[in-house]
Structure 1
Amino acid sequence: MRAPVGIVLLAAGIGTRFGPSPKLLACLDGKPLVRHAAEAAVAAGLGPVVAVLGHAEAELRAALAGLDLCLVSNARYAEGLSTSLLAGLAALPEEVVGAIILLGDMPRVAPSLLRGLAAAFREAGEQPAAVVPARGGRRGNPVLLNRRVLAAGFAGLSGDRGAGPLLAGRPDVLEWEAVDAGVLLDVDTPEALAAAGRP
C-alpha cells in the first residue's frame, strides 16, 4: 500500500519584507499569490491539504474559497514559522506519514513537482527523514518531512525557523533533483512579485 502523503500550506505569516499590505493576497496572473500554491496542492491529488492561516485570516479564507482544503487557525503565528508548521502537522491525520511543507509565497510550484516528491519518498521505502528538492546544486522548497522519523524533534521547534534545524547534518535526508525552477522561487518583495509575473 502506498504511504499516505499530505500537504501543509503555510499561509499565516506577516511577510514584513513585502510592505504594509498582506503579501499572500497580492495579485499574480489575476489571482492572489496564495491561491497559486493552494491550487497546485489540491491538483496534485495526494492526501489531505491543510492550510495554516494567521495574519489577515478573513481575507485569506476568502481568497481560498471553493478549494478542498482543511483551514487551520494559528493564533500564535506572530511567534514565528515554527508555530504554523506544528499546527499544520497536528491537523494531518495520524496515518499520513509524509508531509509536504508548501510555502504560500511559492506560486510556481507545479502539481507534478509535489507528486514527484511523494513518489521519491515512496520509492525510498519511507526511510528518509526528508526529501528535499534541488536544482543546479541548490536546495529549495517544498520539503517532504517524514512524520514518523522526525516525531521526537518536532516538539523542540520554536521561533521563526521551520524544520531546517532538525535536518541539519542528518545522513538520511534524500536530495531529489527537480527539473522545475519553481523550487527556488519564493516571493518576498514587490520586485520579486513583478519578476514572477514576467515570462
Structure 2
Amino acid sequence: MSYAGLVLAAGAGRRFGQPKALVEYDGRSLLDRAVATLREGGCRQVLAVLGAQAEQAMGAAKEPFTPVLNRRWGQGMSTSLQAGLAAIPERYDGVVVTLVDLPHIRPEAVRRLIAAADDGAELAAATYDGERGHPMFFSRKHFDGIAADAAGDRGARNYLAAKAALVREVPCPGDAGDIDTPADLTALEGGAAA
C-alpha cells in the first residue's frame, strides 16, 4: 500500500494577518513544517493546496512538495479539500491530510495513521488525550464521498460522522493545537516576539 500526504494551506489567515503558509515558527515556515512532518511520517509524495499568496508560499518553501492551486480558496476550506483530493495521483491507495497551522503534529502521528491504514482502516483520525484532531487518513474509496459532502468551511467532519463505524481513532503523541492569531504564535514561542 502506498499513501500520499496533503497539506491544506490555501487560506488568507485573516485573523493572523497573513496566510499561515508563510508564518514562521521556530525558524521554519508552517508550510515547511507540515510538509516535512508528512514526508518523515511515511507519505511517498506530499501535495499542498495553496491559494492566497500562492506564489510567495511556493517561492519561500524549502521543503519539496507538489503544489495544487485552489482558485476558489475564498469559498472555504472545503474547496481546498476538494482540490487536494482530486489531485492525488491514482497510484496512491489513500491520503494523510493535515492543516498548515498545526505545528506540534509529529511524524509519529502520520506513521500511526499509515499503520492503521495498512491494518485495514478505511478512515482514521489522530486523537490527543481522547480528543479527535489531525492528521486524518482517507482511503481512496472515500475521496468522492468526502468531496461531495464538504461545503464552505466544513471539510470531512459530517462525512466521518456518517461513517462513524468505519473511523478508527488512533492515539498519538504531541498535540493538535493550532495557530490562529499572532498571540497564539507568541504563546507557543514562550513569549518571544513573533
How does the TM-score come out when normalised to structure 1?
Answer: 0.87
Name the amino acid aligned to 2:136: V
Name the amino acid aligned to 2:33: H
Question: Does structure 2 retain, via aligned residues, the 8 Å contact 1:98–1:118?
Answer: no
Query: Deviation string for 1:18-57 (max 9, x for gaps)?
Result: 1x33333222112222221122222233221111100011
Most deviating of 35-44 and 148-157: 148-157
Name the amino acid aligned to 1:141: H
- SS in structure 2 of the partner of residue 96 of structure 1: coil
Q: Distance in 2 between matches of 1:198 and 1:120?
A: 35
Which residue does 1:175 correspond to in 2? 169
Alpha-carbon RMSD across the aligned residues, in angstroms, is: 1.8
Query: Deviation string for 1:146-189 (max 9, x for gaps)?
Result: 220353342232211111111114211101111x223x211111
Task: Note if 1:30 corresponds to 2:24.
Answer: no
Which residue does 2:151 correspond to in 1? 158
Q: Distance in 2 between matches of 1:122 and 1:25?
A: 34
Query: Deviation string for 1:115-138 (max 9, x for gaps)?
Result: 111011111x24x3x111112121
Q: Distance in 2 between matches of 1:158 and 1:38?
A: 25
- SS in structure 2 of the partner of residue 10 of structure 1: strand
Q: Distance in 1 between matches of 2:142 and 2:43?
A: 20
Which residue does 1:137 correspond to in 2? 130
Task: Note if 1:39 corresponds to 2:36.
Answer: yes
Q: Distance in 2 between matches of 1:120 and 1:196?
A: 30
Q: How many residues align?
A: 190
Which residue does 2:55 correspond to in 1? 58
Task: Note if 1:148 corresponds to 2:141.
Answer: yes
Shift of 1:13: 0.7
Question: Does structure 2 retain, via aligned residues, the 8 Å contact 1:24–1:104?
Answer: yes
Sequence identity (%): 35
Which residue does 1:90 correspond to in 2? 86
Go from structure 1 to structure 2 and tell me whether the alpha carbon gap of 1:152 and 1:32 turns closer, same or farther (over 3 Å shift): closer
How does the TM-score come out when normalised to structure 2?
Answer: 0.89
Shift of 1:86: 1.0
Gaps of 5+ in 2: none
Equivalent residue for 2:14, pick from 13, 16, 36: 16
Shift of 1:89: 1.0
Question: Does structure 1 retain, via aligned residues, the 8 Å contact 2:78–2:154?
Answer: yes
Q: Distance in 2 between matches of 1:42 and 1:142?
A: 13
